[in-house]
Amino acid sequence: MAGELEPGRDGARPIFEGFPKLKFPSVVVVAPPTQSAPIPTPKQYLQYIFNADDWEDFTVEWVHELGMWSGRPYVRVQRMGGAGDRGADVAACLTPQGTAGEWHCYQCKHYVKPLGQADAFPEMVKIFTAKVLGKYELPTRYIFVAPRIGTTLDRLLLNPPQLKEEFFTAWDDADSKLGTKLTPDVRESVGKLARVTDFSMFEAPNLDEILELHAATQHHARRFPQQLKPRPAADPAPPDQRAYEAVYVRKLLDAYNEKHGFDLETLQQARENGKVNRHLTRQREAFFHAEALRLFARDSVPDATYDALESDLYDVVIEIEDRDYDLGHDRMDAVLDAAMVHQPNQHNILAPVVKKKDLMGLCHHLANDDRLTWCKEGMQ
């Protein structure tokens, strides 16, 4: 299902009407400690440090992102693992009918050894059995999610007819343990269902593919204590005022008008005024520099990490803003001066990428959110 771009300043990600957003705990990501020993890579964390619960949580994050960027976002992503999961650790549903409609099954297996046929075939029996017993509809995709996939199983998954042949060789073996705990009638029905099923539904992405997509999420920095990816250069301020600049630009114009006795009403009028044009240009550059920081943080870390950075600055400058001044311009200057000497909390992973211009721009973001105001005359 195609999505529309979110309006306003968050226009980079698709938003899909009617699809609930998956909730994740929001935390502040701290910088990894400085140490002589190398920090494990994300791949090493997944293979050697994560436990089964960590692996399932990681899979939910990856699956949610996979749905968002696939063009057919999941209506719901539900962790199902545990006793009675009927062969589905994570259910990703494409319709409001959930597992009674079209859905994808993600089976999480976090073993030290590579996942092989002896591990996969019993799980395949479970999902066929769930359909026979009316617990789920058969998923249209069944994805094994494991740190390592055995070479033979990997090759079989690339050749669905051969995978099916190997499955039934094991199923029909006189000493087979597949489905032996089922009643004879149910086992017969499971076999019949499997024989008419296209085994291309079974697949297994490799770990590098999984990590590449997960790295595009906010959760990656929280999961793996690595340094942030390089921050891209900020784009220059656009020539024309954006709709979401209205509040802080109005406050700038009020400060200019009060100080100089002007009657500026628009950004264009201020840009044509020699006394304020240079100052205005610097403030808009700072605003969009901070906007670039916000977007970088949004795509790199959980929201609380950026919020903590902004809140720390606010706690400093609000004390300056709340003092008495003859002019609103003086109040703004004092706040910007305090912002430029402010040192972000060095435990916050974003601190190393924050520049002085970001801190100035964050003040205008706070003004844009009506948390700071320069000209207070007449305010209640």
Domain spans of the chain, in order of start: 32-223, 243-368
Strand partners, 105: 91, 142
The Cα 299–Cα 216 span in angstroms is: 7
Q: What is the pLDDT of residue 377?
A: 72
Contact (CB, 8 A) for 217 and 288: no
Q: Report the mean per-residue pLDDT for the chain.
A: 86
Residue 138 φ/ψ, nearest 5 degrees: -65, 125
* Cβ-contact 364, 242 below 8 angstroms: no
Place of tokens 């207070």: 376
pLDDT more than 70, % of the chain:
87
CB 94 within 8 A of CB 101: yes
**How far apart are the C-alpha atoms of 351 and 355, rounded to whole Å?**
9
Residue type, 237: A
Q: Report, as an integer, the average pLDDT of 3-27.
A: 42
pLDDT at position 50:
83
196-to-26, 127, 142, 264 alpha-carbon distances in Å = 45, 14, 16, 75
pLDDT at 303: 85
Residue 365's pLDDT band (cuts 50, 70, 90): very high
CA–CA separation, 145 and 135 (whole Å): 22
Report CA-CA distances (Å) from 16 to 13, 20, 21, 113, 295.
10, 9, 9, 39, 20
Q: Which residue has the higher pLDDT, 26 or 320?
A: 320
How far apart (Å, rounded) are the C-alpha atoms in residues 98 and 268?
53
End-to-end CA distance of the chain: 49
Spatial separation of the C-alpha atoms in residues 129 and 182, rounded to whole Å: 9
Whether 316 shows a pLDDT value over 60: the answer reads yes
**Cross-strand pairs, 77:** 92
How much is the average pLDDT of 227-254? 93
pLDDT number for residue 112? 84
Give, in order, the Cα–Cα distances in Å from 355 to each of 323, 343, 370.
Answer: 26, 10, 23
- Given this model, what pLDDT does residue 6 score? 38
- Whether pLDDT at 35 is above 60: no
The candidate with the shortest Cα–Cα distance to 210, out of 95, 74, 94, 106, is: 106
Question: What average pLDDT score do residues 104-109 get?
Answer: 92
Per-residue burial over 80-101, b = 16 or more CB atoms within 10 Å of its CB, e = otherwise: bbeeebbbbbbbbbbeeebbee
The architecture in CATH of the region 32-223 reads 3-Layer(aba) Sandwich (3.40)
One DSSP character per residue, 158-175 reads T-HHHHHHHHHHHHH-TT
* pLDDT at residue 198 greater than cutoff 60: yes
Average pLDDT over residues 200-210: 92
pLDDT reading at 325 higher than 80: yes
Averaged over 362-372, what is the pLDDT?
98
Residue 1 has pLDDT above 60, yes or no: no
- Local confidence band at 37 (pLDDT 50, 70, 90 cut-offs): low
This prediction's pTM: 0.57
Q: Cα–Cα distances in Å, from 67 out to 70, 140, 206, 237?
A: 5, 14, 17, 33
